[in-house]
C-alpha cells in the first residue's frame, strides 16, 4: 500500500495545472445513458473514481474508452445490456447512484444498490427517491437495492427539495430531460457541477433553464442526441492547491483556476491574510505579509464555503495567529482529520459539528492515517509546513480525487515523495 512522505519547511514557487472536476465528470458520464449516440468528455481528470464510474457504466453495456492520455472519455450507450448497478461497484463509490435517474428515464427501469454508510456521514438517498417518485416512478427497497420503475415513462412535476442536495438535483435533472412535460425543481443545488451537467444536457438537445440558481425548469423531450463537452475545472483541487502556498509560504500560479468557482472560499482566504490575484492563465496565491490570521468558517451549500475544503482549511488554521472556529453544517462526521492533526501538535477541540482551532507556532511531522479523500490531502498540506517528516498512510483515498499530487507539489519545490510497499 502506498504512502506519501512530506519533509516540511520548503517554501513553494511554481505553477500547477488544475485538472477537470471529479465531481462534475462523475455526473457527466452517466448522462451517456440518456442517448444512443456517443458522448465525448474532454478535460477529464485521471482519477480512480473516474475509472470506477467507467467500470460501472461498462457493466451496464456502455462502451467506455479513454483517449489522449486519459484526458478524453468517449462513451456510447447504443447497446445497453443491463439496468442493475451492482453493490460490488456501488459500495466503492457512492456517486454510482447517479445512474439511477438516467437509467430510469431511458429504459423505464433501474436497480441500483444503496451505497451504505460513509466515513463522513449517513448520506441517505431519500431526496433522490422523493423526487423520482414525484416524476411518476415507483421505487422499492429490496435486499439493499432500490428497484425503480416507470413503465409508462416519467412525467414532469414540481419538486421542492427539502435540502439542495447535489446528487439528488443531478439525478432529477437527468430523469426530467426525457419526461413528458415540464419539471420545476425548487430549492435545487447551485454548485458549478450542476451548471456543467446542464450545459452538457443542453448540448445533447435538452431544454433546461435556471441551472446555478435555486429553481431549475426542464421541458422534457422524446430523445437526446450525441455531444462533446469539456469538464469544468476542479474547484476543490483548485482550493486545495491555493492553500499550499498559504500554509508553506511562497507563491504559486494555478493554471485554469477561476474565482467564480470558489464561492465564499476566497473571502475567507482574504480575511486570513492570503492574496489571490487573477492572472492571464488563472490565479496566483501568496501570503500578504508572511502571517496567517485566524478566521471563523461555516460550511454551506454553494456559493457558501465548500465542505470539501473544510479539512484543508483546518490545516491552514492550525498555525494561524489566534483561535478559529470551524462549523461543519453539511456532513455530520467530517472532522476525522482533527485527531491526526493533533498527532502533529495541533490544538483542536471538537464538539459535535464545531471545531475550535488554536494556532500553534509550528506543527511537527508524524506518521498519520488518511480516513477519507479530503482528510488525506489536509494531512499532506499540514506536512508541508511541519518540522521534520510526515508520513501519510492509506493514500488510496487521495488517488480518488487528486491527480499525481506529489508531482504537482514537487514541481513547486515541496519535498514530497510516494513510497510503494
Ligand atoms: C456531492 O455529494 C459531492 N460528491 C461531495 O464531494 C460533496 O461533499 C457534496 O456534494 C456536498 O457538496 C460528488 O459530487 C460525487 P449531497 P452528494 O447530496 O451529492 C444529505 C468529495 O470529497 N442528503 O449534496 O452525495 C447528505 O447526507 C465528495 O469529493 C440527504 O439527507 O452530496 C448530506 O448531509 C464528498 N438525503 C447533505 O444532504 C439525500 O437524499 C449533502 O449531500 C441526499 C443528501
Each residue's pLDDT tens digit, 148-198: 999 899 999 999 999 999 999 999 999 999 999 999 999 999 999 999 999
Q: Cα separation of 157 and 175, whole Å? A: 11
Indicate whether 388 pLDDT > 80. Answer: yes
> Best of 20, 92, 116, 163 to mutate for ligand 1, by most ligand atoms within 8 A of CB?
163
**Which protein residue's CA is at the shortest distance from atom 20 of ligand 1?**
123
Q: What is the number of alpha carbons within 13 Å of residue 346 lying toward its C-beta?
A: 32
Counting Cβ atoms within 10 Å, is residue 123 exposed (0-12), middle (13-18) or buried (19+)?
Answer: middle
Q: What residues contact 265, with CB distance under 8 A and at least 6 apart?
A: 239, 242, 305, 306, 309
Q: Is 55 in a helix, a strand, or coil?
A: helix
Q: Give the pLDDT of residue 118.
A: 80
Determine which one of 118, 200, 266, 412 is catalytic.
118
Which atom number of ligand 1 is nearest to the Cα of residue 130? 40
Which atom number of ligand 1 is nearest to the Cα of residue 332? 34
Q: Cα separation of 185 and 140, whole Å? A: 23
Q: Cα separation of 218 and 239, whole Å? A: 32
- 118 as an active site residue: the answer is yes
Q: CB of 311 closer than 6 A to ligand 1? A: no
Q: Give the pLDDT of residue 9.
A: 97
The pTM for the full model equals: 0.97
Each residue's pLDDT tens digit, 334-370: 999 999 999 999 999 999 999 999 999 999 999 999 9
Q: Give the pLDDT of residue 406.
A: 97
**Which protein residue's CA is at the shortest distance from atom 44 of ligand 1?**
165
**Which protein residue's CA is at the shortest distance from atom 17 of ligand 1?**
167
CA dihedral 227, 231, 232, 238 (to 10 degrees): 180
Each residue's pLDDT tens digit, 206-227: 999 999 999 999 999 999 999 9
> Best of 100, 167, 305, 308 to mutate for ligand 1, by most ligand atoms within 8 A of CB?
167
Each residue's pLDDT tens digit, 96-141: 999 999 999 999 999 999 997 788 888 999 999 999 999 999 999 9
Compute, in angstroms, the gap from residue 310 CA to the centroid of ligand 1.
14
- Helical ranges in 227-372 per DSSP H: 235-248, 265-271, 310-317, 337-343
CA dihedral 106, 111, 117, 120 (to 10 degrees): 0
Q: Cα separation of 361 and 170, whole Å? A: 44
Cβ-based neighbour number of residue 65 at 10 Å:
12
Q: Cα separation of 416 and 144, whole Å? A: 42
C-alpha grid cell, residue 3: 504512502
Q: Give the pLDDT of residue 305.
A: 98
Each residue's pLDDT tens digit, 228-260: 999 999 999 999 999 999 999 999 999 999 999
Report residue 421's pLDDT band, with 50, 70 and 90 as the boundaries.
confident
Q: Is 417 in a helix, a strand, or coil?
A: strand
Strands, E, within 343-413: which ranges?
Answer: 347-351, 354-358, 367-369, 389-393
Q: CB of 397 closer than 6 A to ligand 1? A: no
Q: CB of 23 closer than 6 A to ligand 1? A: yes
Strands, E, within 263-314: which ranges?
Answer: 274-278, 282-287, 297-298
Report residue 323's pLDDT band, with 50, 70 and 90 as the boundaries.
very high
> Best of 20, 23, 27 to mutate for ligand 1, by most ligand atoms within 8 A of CB?
23
User: What mean pLDDT is predicted for residues 51-75?
Assistant: 96
Which atom number of ligand 1 is nearest to the Cα of residue 401? 29
Each residue's pLDDT tens digit, 304-316: 999 999 999 999 9
Q: Give the pLDDT of residue 229.
A: 98
Compute, in angstroms, the gap from residue 354 CA to the centroid of ligand 1.
19
Q: What angle do CA 408, 64, 118 make, to 5 degrees?
A: 60
- Asked whether 10 and 409 are in contact (CB, 8 A), the reply is no
Amino acid at each position: 500500500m502506498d504512502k506519501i512522505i512530506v519533509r516540511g519547511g520548503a517554501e513553494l514557487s511554481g505553477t500547477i495545472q488544475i485538472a477537470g472536476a471529479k465531481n462534475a465528470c462523475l455526473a457527466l458520464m452517466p448522462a451517456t445513458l440518456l442517448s444512443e449516440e456517443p458522448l465525448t468528455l474532454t478535460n477529464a481528470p485521471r482519477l480512480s473514481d473516474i475509472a470506477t464510474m467507467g467500470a460501472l457504466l461498462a457493466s451496464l453495456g456502455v462502451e467506455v474508452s479513454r483517449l489522449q492520455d486519459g484526458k478524453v472519455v468517449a462513451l456510447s450507450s447504443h447497446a445497453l445490456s443491463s439496468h442493475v448497478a451492482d453493490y460490488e461497484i456501488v459500495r466503492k463509490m457512492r456517486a454510482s447512484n447517479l445512474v439511477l435517474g438516467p437509467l430510469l428515464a431511458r429504459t423505464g427501469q433501474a436497480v441500483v444498490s444503496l451505497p451504505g454508510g460513509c466515513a463522513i456521514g449517513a448520506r441517505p438517498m431519500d431526496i433522490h427517491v422523493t423526487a423520482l417518485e414525484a416524476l411518476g416512478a415507483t421505487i422499492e427497497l429490496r435486499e439493499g437495492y432500490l428497484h425503480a420503475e416507470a413503465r409508462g415513462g416519467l412525467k414532469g412535476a414540481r419538486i421542492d427539495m427539502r435540502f439542495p442536495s447535489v446528487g439528488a438535483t443531478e439525478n432529477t435533472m437527468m430523469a426530467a430531460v426525457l419526461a413528458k412535460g415540464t419539471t420545476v425543481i425548487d430549492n435545487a443545488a447551485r454548485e458549478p457541477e450542476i451548471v456543467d451537467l446542464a450545459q452538457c444536457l443542453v448540448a445533447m438537445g435538452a431544454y433546461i433553464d435556471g441551472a446555478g440558481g435555486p429553481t431549475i425548469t426542464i421541458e422534457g423531450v422524446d430523445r437526446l442526441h450525441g455531444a462533446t463537452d469539456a469538464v469544468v475545472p476542479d474547484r476543490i483541487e483548485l482550493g486545495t492547491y491555493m492553500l499550499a502556498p498559504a500554509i508553506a509560504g511562497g507563491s504559486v500560479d494555478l493554471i485554469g483556476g477561476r474565482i467564480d468557482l470558489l464561492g465564499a472560499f476566497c473571502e475567507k482566504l482574504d480575511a486570513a491574510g492570503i492574496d489571490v490575484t487573477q492572472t492571464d492563465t488563472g490565479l496566483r496565491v501568496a501570503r500578504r505579509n508572511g502571517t496567517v490570521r485566524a478566521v471563523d468558517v461555516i460550511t454551506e451549500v454553494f456559493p457558501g464555503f465548500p465542505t470539501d475544503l473544510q479539512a484543508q482549511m483546518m490545516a491552514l488554521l492550525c498555525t494561524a495567529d489566534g483561535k478559529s472556529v470551524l462549523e461543519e453544517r453539511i456532513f455530520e462526521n467530517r472532522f476525522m482529520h482533527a485527531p491526526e492533526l493533533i498527532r502533529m501538535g495541533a490544538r483542536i477541540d471538537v464538539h459535535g459539528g464545531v471545531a475550535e482551532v488554536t494556532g500553534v507556532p509550528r506543527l511537527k511531522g508524524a506518521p498519520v492515517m488518511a480516513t477519507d479523500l479530503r482528510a488525506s490531502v489536509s494531512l499532506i498540506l499540514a506536512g508541508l509546513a511541519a518540522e521534520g517528516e510526515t508520513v501519510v498512510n492509506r493514500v488510496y483515498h487521495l488517488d480518488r480525487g487528486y491527480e499525481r499530487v506529489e508531482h504537482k507539489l514537487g514541481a513547486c519545490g515541496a519535498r514530497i515523495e510516494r513510497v510503494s510497499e
